[in-house]
Structure 1
């Protein structure tokens, strides 16, 4: 995979986990997610991709600091912003967000969190309706595997439990957000490729 910005590295991680586990998360939000806001967010991501070459050093630094833990998918963009504070990339993204109709970078990130939550809930629903049962079965296989050490079982159990937690969170995606995002699936999928 080509070098990616921190936000897009997270997107790539989401796509990978989605393909493996079919999961993801959500939260509740008072304001409706409008078609225009979703479109503006998608356009801003396209513009952000053009900034990637300028921040390769930051990508390398964030890769080195990555502990391999599964991110909180309900705060994917907001958490990424927290990591960018104090870096030039933060200011550039703030300008980009404002240029795409957002009041500030925090509003942009909150919109991104909601869009991606809803998208992951849709993907989970479409790609793997039996994912919970499959994961429970895989967890039982891990526990009953005599060839695995206790340490290996603990690592696999932690991964599976983390994935199951994310899957549980995805089931909480606001129905309004899910329906608002549904017409934008092709555009979102194109960005993540």
Structure 2
């Protein structure tokens, strides 16, 4: 067998990785977000609100673990599910998800991840297209502030970078998800306002 050049092997490996990435990205979003699925998800969130008083201790515990970093908007529900495993709330939520047409809690969370990420992308485009520029300006202001200690600057920088990362995560929502969620943006806003 003839010896392959390192450049040729590297090119072949890169081509294979790109092909795998394309296959996985297509399959992960192959199932479109239907109007019915989005509506079912929103209705399930309304129903979940009624369970909240039963699990106040869990809510307080999760709030206590909040480290101040922005969540990954592409996995906000899936990450929350990981924290719920083993708690009674997990089985109650699974029942609720099935009642709203989802085959299991993982499908519900995955749908929620996509809906929420798309909604955040819509909110960002509607509320402030210049938000990234403003954050960069604020970051520069922090760096040049002579009244802040290096530790304070590092803490503020970390918070700003976390927020910028969250914005980037939201803006990476697939365009087809954004368009599917757009007609439901008002319902999501109302639901968010009710929770606050």
Task: Name the TM tier (shorter chain).
Answer: 0.7 to 0.9
* Residue 68 (structure 1) aligns with: 68
The residue aligned with 2:57 is 57
Whether the 8 Å CA contact 2:72–2:169 is kept in 1: the answer is no
Aligned length: 166
Equivalent residue, structure 2, for 1:117: 117
Taking structure 1 as the reference length, the TM-score comes to 0.83
Q: How much is the aligned-residue C-alpha RMSD, in angstroms?
A: 1.0
TM-score norm. by structure 2 comes to 0.82
Rg comparison, structure with higher value: 2
Instruction: Tell me which residue corresponds to 1:88.
Output: 88
| Structure 2 residue ranges without an equivalent (≥5) | 1-27
Aligned to 1:105: 105
1:68 Cα deviation from its structure 2 partner: 2.2
Q: Which runs of 5+ in 1 are unaligned?
A: 1-27
Q: What residue is the counterpart of 2:79 in the other structure?
A: 79
Q: 1:143 aligns to what?
A: 143
> Any idea what the Cα deviations from partners look like across 1:118-157, whole Å, max 9, x if unmatched?
0000000000100111111111111011111111110111
Equivalent residue runs for 1:108-187 within 5 Å: 108-187=108-187
Task: Kindly state the Cα deviation for residue 70 of structure 1 after the two structures are TM-superposed.
Answer: 1.8
CA distance in 1 between partners of 2:69 and 2:160 (Å): 12
1:163 to partner: Cα distance: 1.1
Question: Aligned partners of 1:106, 1:132: CA distance in 2, in Å?
Answer: 32
Partner residue of 2:41? Answer: 41
Q: Deviations over 1:11-54 (max 9, x none)?
A: xxxxxxxxxxxxxxxxx722110000000000000100110111
2:74 is paired with a residue of what secondary structure?
Answer: helix
Change (3 A) 1:65 1:168: closer
